[in-house]
């Protein structure tokens, strides 16, 4: 998960390369670099660390360049050193490459294709691309890129420049996002629409084997045989624009506050007239008469929304449902047939493991449906049917508003499936649809009701070494997400456990003052979870209970009681997660962490 940008035009590009590269910093920030081309050949500058280090290096002496490519890196092959920073050059210095993805057959290419004794300046897989393009380059750049990329295995989005082709950038991609635009002032490429000029209203996405040629005056496309292609651009979707962070200090807090709107916008498209509208998704007949198995496949927080959905699908639709991490699913032996529905969930729509799982399932008779937040993303394009969450562009690495929008989409699906399969009466269905539509307002109320307590709780736990999140059933799903939110932004070692599991080992880790955060909203197991909380308290834990007012009395002995608004308990995960998100945010704030760009992470994991 790196980010690439490229610009060629009549005016200086160094400043805008940095400007647009910063829009991609969420994709990785171990090192950054740029290369420029003019009639004197290629010039390169690279720095370890944040893009600001490269920006400083480019402050003077680079204004003359009007064509350049740049890159921000999340290290996969090769350590975080300047020599491994992109752009990488061929050994003869004729070719410069920036790359996002992983070349899985780099070693094979080095040993079997490139000339013996070829020297490499880096430990990266990417450098092989530069060498290979140069190896095939005999004054025909398109052919050289075509020959080289046809031999690559894995994933790539590349920007290429040649020392003897000043002002030209060549681009190609496979299984990694790449967008290209032509505006009135020049040609642009980027890993993400976010890193294109706002005035770019139409974009091109190169298909497999297509090579883009950016000249500044135009963008042209060719196939691997060098034939000119007529490509139609697509409009930039609203879900792809950066809405900014408003007056908030961080995107994460801004996006927490945007959740009522994100959930409201998502539900508005799915639930109206007292019922759920997802007809175009997989067909009502399939749902009611044929579907006998559901897999939910995702990573990280998206996976946690699947934990919620599984419980609801099985309870109300009586359909066998499995939730599987995409990185596991793609190497396991799932049983898929024409009566199976596989639901893929992803904010970015570019997560490599989730995409790989989708591509596997598409080789079977199973039906595929994706819940995705970015229109035009690979997952959105490649799924048979999609539900677009309307959270808007999410920048913070720690997802919040997209997570909540995914939950909303799953609730709508669960109600629709239940209704079609007679798991809910028409009256129950209508009542739950009404309750669902109240969620945006209840999320806003939850933020207001719990924020001050969470701020003081964050101050209390900020120096803890560990924390535990516990719950049962839907509360357990929330606990999983709450734990991830805390650990990924505050770096506190937070673990999530099914509340009933603590006594089978984890209880040994409870020390005096260890924070244990429990959500208690599910009527059938509330008392059970409370007794698990008491077991931790008896061993010194600082127990925090997130619950409805109606359970406040039985929870009155908790060290900290966080009350959330009443709602139909099947929708409780949307409310219990709010204080947990804010706890992660404020704890990270008081620990001085880089909240929007946590160490070692990136927003879109486009590599395995």
Active-site residues: which are they? 2, 603
Q: Report phi then psi at 472, rounded to 5.
A: -125, 140
Residue 148 Cα distances to 130, 153, 228, angstroms: 9, 11, 18
Cβ-proximal residues to 206 (8 Å cutoff; 6+ apart), any chain: 171, 172, 173, 178, 180, 212, 221
Say if residues 579 and 546 touch (Cβ distance below 8 Å).
yes
Nearer to ligand AGP, 84 or 399 (CB): 399
Residues in a beta bridge with 102: 155
Nearer to ligand AGP, 191 or 399 (CB): 399
Gap between the Cα atoms of 81 and 131, Å rounded: 20
Residue 463: exposed, middle, or buried by beta-carbon count in 10 A (0-12, 13-18, 19+)? exposed
Report the nearest approach of ligand AGP to the CB of residue 296 (Å). 13
Gap between the Cα atoms of 470 and 495, Å rounded: 9
For position 399 contacting ligand AGP by CB under 6 A, the verdict is yes
For position 604 contacting ligand AGP by CB under 6 A, the verdict is yes
Which DSSP helix (H) or strand (E) runs through 173? Answer: strand 169-174
**Binding segment (CB under 6 A) for ligand AGP, from list 147-155, 228-236, 397-405, 439-447:** 397-405
Write out the two tokens for 509.
């880790």
By CB under 6 A, the count of residues binding ligand AGP is 16
Nearer to ligand AGP, 3 or 300 (CB): 300
Residues in a beta bridge with 71: 4, 33
Nearer to ligand AGP, 133 or 325 (CB): 325
For position 387 contacting ligand AGP by CB under 6 A, the verdict is no
For position 383 contacting ligand AGP by CB under 6 A, the verdict is no
Instruction: Fill in the per-residue mask, 184 to 203: x = in contact with ligand AGP (CB under 6 A), - = not in contact.
Output: --------------------
For position 299 contacting ligand AGP by CB under 6 A, the verdict is yes
Write out the two tokens for 550.
């109606």
**Binding segment (CB under 6 A) for ligand AGP, from list 393-401, 503-511, 540-548, 571-579:** 393-401
Report the nearest approach of ligand AGP to the CB of residue 484 (Å). 6
Report the nearest approach of ligand AGP to the CB of residue 28 (Å). 13
For position 404 contacting ligand AGP by CB under 6 A, the verdict is no
Report the nearest approach of ligand AGP to the CB of residue 217 (Å). 36
Please spell the DSSP secondary structure of 404-458, one letter per residue: HHHHHHHHHHHHHHHHHTTSS-HHHHHHHHHHHHTHHHHHHHHHHHHHHHHHHHH
For position 397 contacting ligand AGP by CB under 6 A, the verdict is yes
> Residue 252 carries which DSSP code?
H
Residues in a beta bridge with 367: 341
For position 596 contacting ligand AGP by CB under 6 A, the verdict is no
Q: Name which of residues 428 to 487 contact ligand AGP (CB under 6 A).
A: 484
Q: Name which of residues 337 to 366 contact ligand AGP (CB under 6 A).
A: 346-348, 351, 354
Report the nearest approach of ligand AGP to the CB of residue 495 (Å). 15
Query: For binding to ligand AGP (CB under 6 A), which residues are involved?
Result: 299-302, 346-348, 351, 354, 397-399, 484, 488, 604-605
């Amino acid at each position: 998960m790196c980010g690439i940008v490229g610009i060629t035009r009549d005016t200086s590009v160094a400043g805008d390369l940095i400007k647009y590269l910063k829009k991609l910093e969420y994709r990785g920030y171990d090192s950054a670099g740029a290369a420029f081309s003019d009639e004197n050949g290629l010039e390169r500058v690279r720095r370890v660390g944040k893009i600001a280090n490269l920006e400083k290096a480019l402050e003077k002496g680079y204004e003359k360049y009007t064509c350049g490519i740049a890159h921000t890196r999340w290290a996969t092959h090769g350590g975080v050193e300047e020599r491994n920073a992109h752009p990488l050059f061929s050994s003869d210095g004729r070719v410069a490459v920036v790359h996002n993805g992983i070349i899985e057959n780099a070693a094979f290419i080095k040993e079997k294709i490139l000339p013996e004794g070829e020297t490499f300046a880096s430990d990266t897989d990417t450098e092989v691309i530069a060498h290979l393009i140069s190896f095939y380059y005999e004054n025909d750049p398109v052919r050289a890129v075509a020959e080289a990329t046809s031999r690559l295995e894995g994933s790539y989005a590349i920007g290429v420049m040649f020392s003897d082709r000043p002002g030209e950038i060549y681009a190609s991609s496979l299984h990694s996002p790449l967008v290209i635009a032509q505006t009135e002032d020049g040609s642009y490429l980027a890993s993400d629409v976010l890193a294109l000029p706002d005035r770019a209203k139409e974009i091109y996405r190169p298909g497999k084997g297509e090579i883009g040629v950016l000249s500044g005056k135009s963008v042209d496309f060719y196939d691997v045989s060098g034939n000119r292609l007529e490509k139609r651009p697509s409009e930039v979707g609203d879900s792809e624009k950066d809405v900014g962070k408003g007056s908030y200090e961080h995107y994460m807090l801004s996006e927490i506050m945007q959740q009522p709107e994100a959930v409201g916008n998502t539900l508005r498209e799915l639930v109206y007239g007292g019922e759920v509208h997802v007809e175009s998704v997989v067909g009502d007949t399939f749902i009611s008469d044929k579907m006998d198995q559901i897999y939910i496949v995702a990573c990280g927080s998206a996976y946690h929304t699947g934990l919620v959905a599984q419980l609801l699908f099985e309870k109300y639709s009586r359909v066998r449902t499995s939730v599987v991490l995409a990185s596991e699913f793609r190497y396991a032996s799932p049983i898929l047939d024409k009566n199976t529905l596989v639901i893929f969930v992803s904010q970015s729509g570019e997560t490599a493991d989730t995409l790989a799982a989708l591509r596997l399932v598409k080789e079977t008779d199973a039906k595929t449906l994706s819940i995705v937040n970015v229109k035009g993303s690979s997952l959105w394009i490649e799924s048979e049917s999609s539900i677009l969450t309307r959270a808007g562009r999410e920048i913070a690495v720690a997802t919040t508003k997209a997570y909540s929008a995914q939950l909303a989409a799953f609730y709508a699906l669960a109600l629709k499936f239940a209704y079609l399969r007679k798991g809910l009466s028409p009256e129950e269905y209508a009542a739950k649809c009404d309750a669902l539509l109240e969620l945006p307002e209840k999320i806003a109320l939850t933020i207001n009701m719990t924020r001050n307590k969470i701020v003081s709780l964050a101050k209390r736990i900020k120096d803890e070494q560990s924390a535990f999140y516990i719950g049962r059933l839907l509360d357990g799903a929330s606990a999983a997400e709450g734990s991830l939110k805390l650990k990924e932004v505050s770096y506190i070692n937070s673990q999530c456990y099914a509340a009933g599991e603590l006594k089978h080992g984890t209880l040994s880790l409870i020390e005096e003052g260890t924070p244990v955060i429990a959500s208690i909203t599910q009527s059938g197991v509330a008392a059970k979870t409370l007794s698990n909380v008491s077991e931790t308290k008896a061993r010194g834990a600082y127990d925090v209970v997130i619950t409805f007012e109606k359970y406040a009395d039985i929870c009155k002995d908790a060290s900290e009681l966080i009350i959330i608004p009443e709602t139909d308990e099947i929708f409780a995960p949307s409310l219990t997660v709010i204080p947990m998100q804010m706890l992660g945010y404020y704890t990270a704030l008081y620990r001085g962490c880089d909240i929007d760009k946590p160490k070692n992470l990136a927003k879109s994991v486009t590599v395995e």
